[in-house]
């Protein structure tokens, strides 16, 4: 596929010199640069810092009569606590 890319003249000259120095075409240098930029962008989105959740040291457990499988009953209990 062919496409037109408008580059600054100085950048284009520098890219041509770099491609010649590497014994490759300008197209392959541009493709390589795009692949690196896209891979870096992907890594930036996926590399998130690990989150360490706090662990409760509380004792006791559930209040008597609370069934965590019955959401409406849990909500009723929570409304009555206020």
Residue 48, exposed/middle/buried by CB under 10 A (0-12, 13-18, 19+)? exposed
pLDDT at 17: 97
For the entire predicted model, the pTM comes to 0.51
Query: Which residues, at least 6 apart from 30, have a Cβ–Cβ distance to it below 8 Å?
Result: 5, 15
Token reading at 3: 């496409």
**Count, residues in the chain:** 82
CA distance 67 to 73: 7
Mean pLDDT in the chain? 87
Q: Considering only CA atoms, which of 78, 22, 39 is closest in space to residue 14?
A: 22
pLDDT at 44: 66
Tens of pLDDT, residue by residue over 42-69, are 776 666 788 888 888 888 887 777 888 9
Res. 82 pLDDT band, cuts 50 70 90:
low
H or E element at residue 33: helix 26-46
């Amino acid at each position: 596929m062919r496409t037109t890319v408008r580059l600054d003249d100085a950048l284009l000259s520098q890219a041509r010199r770099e491609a010649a120095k590497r014994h490759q075409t300008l197209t392959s240098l541009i493709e390589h640069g795009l692949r690196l930029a896209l891979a870096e962008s992907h890594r930036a989105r996926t590399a998130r810092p690990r989150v360490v959740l706090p662990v409760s040291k509380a004792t006791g457990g559930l209040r008597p009569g609370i069934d965590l499988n019955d959401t409406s009953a849990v909500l009723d209990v929570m409304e009555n606590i206020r």
